[in-house]
Amino acid sequence: MPVENRIPVWRLLAFTTAGFLAIMTETMPAGLLPQIGDGLGISEGLAGQLVTLYAIGSVVAAVPVIAATRGMRRRPLLLLAVGGLLVFNTATALSSSYGLTLVARFVAGMASGVIWGLLAGYGRRLVPEHLQGRALAIVGVGQPIALTLGVPLGTWLGSLFDWRGVFWVMSAVALLLMLWVRALVPDFPGQTAADRRPIREIFVLPGVRPVLGVMFLWILAHNILYTYIAPFLKDAGLGDHVDIALGVFGASAILGIWLTGVLVDRLLRVVTLASLAGFAFAALLLGIAGHSAPLVFTGIVAWGVTFGGGPTLLQTAIADAAGDGADVAQSMFVTVFNLAVAGGGLAGGLLVESAGAGALPWVLLVLAVPALAVVTVSRRHGFAPGARGAGGED
């Protein structure tokens, strides 16, 4: 295969692992709440704030820290961010103070925000333009795997060690990842002062805001159901099959990422429209499924396949729209992404309490429609037709 058509898989997989580690570090405590509560002498509700503080750290850090470090060389910055996970996961493992543990989780979340702000732009620089979407698909595959495995893997590791041992495992993975990055991933310079656009200028670039808007609606919709999949399945008479449903979703999402990676560089707009339409169809299936297990699982497969490639599509679109401001645009992506995750948890909880879990899929359908409309009208900027780099219609 010609050099210009080769994907540097092992280099990109280092980024995949970084994303996997960042999300695992965020979600894994949810499977250890009883152990953490007993170990720190707090309630499970207070232990759950370890997840909250991490997410807040990611939101707070992403835009200002990425903007402030645009001049730094890329590899040292990535090593510093992964090193932050190493140091503060270790601090969590050693801490006997709830307050100190919350601080460690907050700063670890800040490190995660930097990682997510870096990965897409850095990964794109490892390949020629016509392979950048495929490269992002490889980088992004760690996300659905971690989202699917984070809680059950944390629970399983907690059965082998105590909860502190699980954080030690995360620290060991971070250390190995730093060695991997240092050995295999090439360095690139940051931006010169003259090349750095103001944050506001990047935000108002044509295409950036439509992509952020679609992303907020899509991630919000997904998390409304994903966060409350257990009560939804219970309402459908499948309460004992949550682990199977999550496994099916994860496998389907990985398939969706693979399909997206094959097509994104040539058909970004078409695949985005098809994915959102399929996502809406999946919501409709889940809404009408009732107690039909075949319909529920068919809906879950459709949901996973159509959502799995969503982050890759949107990260590719926003990086294309932002050009040399891609790293800052990606940090905006991270911030809005985490706000949508938090909003999904809040809105889903209110819906379950007020209307019941059976109403959740219908809200997904309602949110998917305006997202689809934004993609449809954003032909010139954001979601242009044709191959990437070919330009949209005037």
Of 146, 127, 123, the closest CA to residue 136 belongs to: 123
- Walk along the chain (394 residues) in steps of 10 and give the mean pLDDT of each run: 70 94 86 85 83 84 82 93 97 94 94 87 86 83 74 78 91 97 92 70 86 94 85 89 84 88 89 96 96 95 93 87 80 84 82 90 96 93 75 41
Query: At residue 185, what is the residue type?
Result: V
Instruction: Give the contacts of 230 (CB within 8 A, at least 6 positions apart).
Output: 239, 242
Across the chain, where does the E strand assignment appear? Answer: none
C-beta separation of 300 from 252 below 8 A:
yes
pLDDT score for 390: 52
Distance CA 114, CA 80 (A): 9
pLDDT score for 391: 47
The DSSP code sequence of 121-181 is HHHHTTS-GGGHHHHHHHHHTHHHHHHHHHHHHHHHHHHHS-HHHHHHHHHHHHHHHHHHH
- CATH 3.40.190.10 for domain 200-388: no
Query: At residue 253, what is the residue type?
Result: A
Global pTM value:
0.79
DSSP annotation of 242: H
pLDDT score for 388: 64
C-beta separation of 232 from 357 below 8 A:
yes
Any idea which architecture 1-196 has in CATH?
Answer: Up-down Bundle (1.20)
pLDDT score for 113: 87
Domain-wise residue ranges, the chain:
1-196, 200-388
Distance CA 160, CA 310 (A): 35
C-beta separation of 41 from 169 below 8 A:
no
pLDDT score for 133: 80
CA angle (305, 311, 317) in 5-degree steps? 120
Distance CA 287, CA 274 (A): 20
Instruction: Count the residues in the chain.
Output: 394
pLDDT score for 392: 45
Instruction: Give the contacts of 261 (CB within 8 A, at least 6 positions apart).
Output: 133, 134, 136, 137, 138, 309, 312
